[in-house]
Amino acid sequence: MDRNIQGRIFLVGCPRSGTTLLQSLLAAHPQIASFPESHFFTSLEPSKAWIRQLELGLASGKRAKSRFLEFLKILNQEQMQSYLPGFAPFMQQYTAAFVRVLDTLTLEQGKSWWLEKTPGHLQCIDLIEKQVPEAQFLHIVRNGTDVVASIYDVANHHHSEGWLEPGNLDKCIDRWIASMEITQQYAARPHHTVVRYEALVENSQEVLKDLCEAIEIEFDPMMLQGYRAAAKQVVRQDETWKASAEQPIHNANGKKFYKVFDEAQREHILAKLSQVDLDRLCVARAG
């Protein structure tokens, strides 16, 4: 790791679990840089299983390059495409360029840690750990009924933005269950820390202090004072469903669940979610 970069952190979790709020709080720290979602690793591996099974470390080619260039465009840093070699068949070449971009932008801001937040990178943890040694992972988890209600609501209103198809309740439920199963696999491992959304909104300062200790950075009160301004830097204007990240921190748990679903739907959701016990998710320290 570059001697000036002290930490590379990936924030993951099921969509609508508070990832943007936590990102904004951390991005308000004077030593942590953060950026809009990259979705970089979701496009890095070849889509064909037989190519992945060769274990040659080959990248997906056009998909990986397109995603990398799209991210640079979002950052308004198109000139950094020179970080990627003209001939780049391997994933490590793309990852090296991606990490170099974030390292460079972080150091240019006079900071030493960077935080990348893409909820879908939860499914890419093994790949990221291989590609980015010493990376730290923050998992945020939230009550399933609230997440399912929020995903369902957003999917119905923003179905053109890559969300699940409108009206598919079971897919919303399954998305949360699958996400919790993944977090359970990694929760006790070194370099992984689990944060409960409910604890974060109810006792923000204490949770952030514990989190800073886990990622080995000193807590700064600015995190609670500047998070709304930080949210404007990491949320794109077209991501209207993330508007709440710029609002005062409050716990709205349960309200949307009863507003969005009728009694039969609520019973169906609760029955399926009962297989997951969030309280059994151990809180691991980054090591």
Q: Is the pLDDT of residue 115 over 70?
A: yes
pLDDT at 2 over 80: no
Q: What is the pLDDT of residue 139?
A: 97
Q: What confidence score (pLDDT) does residue 84 get?
A: 92
Q: Which of 145, 121, 125, 153 is nearest to 39 (CA)?
A: 121
Q: What would the pLDDT profile of 118-171 be if each residue is shown by its tens digit?
A: 999 999 999 999 999 999 999 999 999 999 999 998 888 755 445 556 668 999
pLDDT surpasses 90 at 285 = no
- Give the model's pLDDT for residue 62: 86
Q: What's the mean per-residue pLDDT of the chain? A: 87
| pLDDT average, residue stretch 173-191 | 95
pLDDT band per the 50, 70, 90 thresholds, residue 60: confident
Residue spans of the domains in the chain: they are 7-33+112-280
Find the mean pLDDT for residues 168-176: 94
Position 88 confidence tier, pLDDT thresholds 50, 70, 90: confident
User: How is residue 46 written in tokens?
Assistant: 């070849």
Least confident of 34-48, 209-223, 244-258: 244-258
Q: How confident is the model at residue 167, as a pLDDT?
A: 67
Query: Is residue 191 predicted with pLDDT exceeding 90?
Result: yes
* Residue 48 or residue 73, greater confidence: 73
Please state which of the four CATH numbers 3.40.50.720, 1.10.220.150, 3.90.1150.10, 3.40.50.300 is assigned to the domain occupying 7-33+112-280: 3.40.50.300
Between residues 135 and 275, the one the model is more confident about: 135
Given a cut of 70, whether residue 51 has pLDDT beyond it is: no
In the structure, what pLDDT confidence band is assigned to residue 232 with cuts at 50, 70 and 90?
confident
Residue 44 CB neighbour total at 10 angstroms: 22
pLDDT score recorded for residue 230 = 86
pLDDT above 70: percentage of residues in the chain: 83
* pLDDT score recorded for residue 283: 46
